[in-house]
Amino acid sequence: MIATLMAILAAATLAGPFGEAFADAVPDGDYIRVTVQVVIDPSYQADYVVVHLLNPEGQETFPLGPQPDGRFSGEFTILPFNRAVVFEVGREGDFVQSQVVSLLDLGLEAELLQTTFGTAPSSDDPGRWGWLALGAGSLAAAALLGWFLIPKPAPPTPAGLVDTAGDETVVIEEP
């Protein structure tokens, strides 16, 4: 009951012969089972209503069936990614497409959807290696900076020349 109320409150209102539209989903293994509903103006006298789900590889189209209260609904199973959605309604010689909305706009919970079209990160996540490389580079930079900033001891002053008897010897240059 609460989920239905939340879906109605999160419904997107589309222009043209389209009224409110909303979606609901439940997990189904590695997929999600999505139920989509859209209200169509009865004066349009639609022969068909479909929903197009857009993704990087193209689109998937699913038919929506009429319900007694003027709504059209359908159910389909997809991978759990947020996708662009376009509704299409048609009759003989004419069709209209809605504005583009997302599954999130239609009321799906963000927790059910992955935010990108890629696969889930594996244990060999390259991001982890990036942080490791950044840390190692920072340590190397700090060591190099320390090498140049730490004062070096002054070189020892040269002692005088000492002969074998232990006396200092004076060297005289001849011209």
Q: Which pair of tokens denotes residue 116?
A: 């990108």
Q: Which pair of tokens denotes residue 149?
A: 């900033």
* Tokens 């012969």, located at residue: 17
In this prediction, residue 148 carries a pLDDT of: 76
CA–CA dist 118, 121 (Å, integer): 9
Domain count, the chain: 1
Mean pLDDT throughout 143-166? Answer: 69
Range of the domain at 59: 2-112
Instruction: Report the range of poorest mean pLDDT among 33-37, 53-57, 106-110.
Output: 53-57
- What integer best gives the mean pLDDT of the chain? 77
* Tokens 């197009």, located at residue: 52
Banded pLDDT at 8 (limits 50, 70, 90): very low
* pTM value surpassing 0.85: no
In this prediction, residue 73 carries a pLDDT of: 92
Banded pLDDT at 35 (limits 50, 70, 90): very high
DSSP helix/strand/coil, 129: helix
Question: Does residue 122 lie in a domain region?
Answer: no
Which H/E stretch holds residue 83? none
In this prediction, residue 62 carries a pLDDT of: 92
In this prediction, residue 7 carries a pLDDT of: 42
Higher-scoring residue by pLDDT: 170, 41: 41
The CATH number linked to 7 is 2.60.40.10
DSSP letters along 14-45, please?
Answer: PSTTEEEEEEEEEEETTEEEEEEEEEE-GGG-
CA–CA dist 75, 170 (Å, integer): 105
Question: Does residue 153 lie in a domain region?
Answer: no
In this prediction, residue 6 carries a pLDDT of: 41
